[in-house]
Structure 1
Amino acid sequence: MQVKEIELHDDLSSLVSLINNAMWDDANEISVFDVESLTAYLSRQDTVFLACYIDEQIAGIASARIEIKPYGKEQWLYIDEVDVCVNFRKLGVGKYMMKSLLTIAKAHNCTEAWLGTETDNKAANALYSSLKPTEIEEFIGFNFDLEN
């Protein structure tokens, strides 16, 4: 198993093809990837995108952003997505990507990392709990559709 932090100079066309042809299900909520969108994402200075490989196949992907608080100049990592392909679940892929994200956060002098997941997502909750977080919060999330 290998986790690679994806950068602009990587072969994004091949990566996009691997991602779009991987085995995802509804739990992943994966949209169709394209090179232009991934390039725009990676062009921002604050983004992190990981690809996890097993035997040259995509086993999972993760995205995050390094943020700065509007006070104290503290940096923190917001973890947006951690997705594991259906055929690679229960092999430690999610944990390996999470540990990689936390290592990246430390390398960027982040003081904390934050992520959220649905309360009924048992697999995600078990994974994140196994990493011994300093705090587990319950919260309500709001989504606003801005296209209408």
Structure 2
Amino acid sequence: MTDIGTIEVVEVTTENQSLMHVVADDLFDAPVQSNLLQSYLAEETHWLVAALLDGVVIGKATAMVHRRPDKEDELYLDEIDVIPELRRKGIAKMILKKVLEMAEDWGCEECWLGTEKDNIPARKLYESNGAKPEDFVLYYLEY
């Protein structure tokens, strides 16, 4: 069993982006590309949070501050993930805590996100942090 006390959760920035050179398999949909990483991190409202174990990124979250002309900033939490063999050990909760701390420091009024109905571990994670599920319809526009 992994000691989650040895896991470090950090915000990845342009200054420490080299942390992303060693990423566990199955964490991202495809290999991290340096040019895309640099472009993503160049936007101050795009956040990447990584969980590291022995120098290897084993968990991550991507999020974006959503700015609007009529309301205060809010956070859109795009994705939290941990490699399959380390799931259900509290790592995602540590990542979420870091993201929400960053959102509070930024001044975001709320955080919104979505997950599949059958993703029970994700739903439990969010609900354990006070989230309430909403009914809504999701559309994908292809072009």
TM-score past 0.5 threshold: yes
Q: 1:56 — aligned with what?
A: 55
TM-score w.r.t. length of structure 2: 0.88
- Note if 1:2 corresponds to 2:1: no
Please point out which of 135, 140, 143 is paired with 1:143.
Answer: 140
Structure 1: gaps spanning 5 or more residues = none
Paired with 2:82 and 2:135, the residues of 1 have a C-alpha distance of: 24
Q: 2:4 — aligned with what?
A: none
Aligned pairs, how many? 137
2:38 is matched by which residue type in structure 1?
A: T
Instruction: Kindly state the Cα deviation for residue 96 of structure 1 after the two structures are TM-superposed.
Output: 0.5
2:9 is matched by which residue type in structure 1?
A: V
Secondary structure at 1:132's aligned position in 2? coil
Aligned structure 1 segments of 4 or more residues deviating by more than 3 angstroms: none
Q: 2:3 — aligned with what?
A: none
Q: Percent sequence identity over matched residues?
A: 29
RMSD: 1.6
Please point out which of 113, 116, 119 is paired with 1:115.
Answer: 113
Paired with 2:63 and 2:82, the residues of 1 have a C-alpha distance of: 15
Structure 2: gaps spanning 5 or more residues = 1-6
CA gap 1:88/1:97 in 2 versus in 1, 3 angstroms: same
Paired with 1:89 and 1:70, the residues of 2 have a C-alpha distance of: 38
Matches of residues 1-20 of structure 1 in structure 2 within 5 Å? 1-12=7-18, 15=20, 17-19=21-23
Matches of residues 1-148 of structure 1 in structure 2 within 5 Å? 1-12=7-18, 15=20, 17-19=21-23, 22-24=24-26, 30-72=29-71, 74-133=72-131, 135-146=132-143
Residues 22-77 of structure 1 deviation map (CA, whole Å, 9 limit, x = unaligned): 142xxx662221110010001112111011012322220111011122203x0111
Paired with 2:32 and 2:140, the residues of 1 have a C-alpha distance of: 22
1:141 is matched by which residue type in structure 2?
A: L
TM-score w.r.t. length of structure 1: 0.85
Secondary structure at 2:110's aligned position in 1? strand
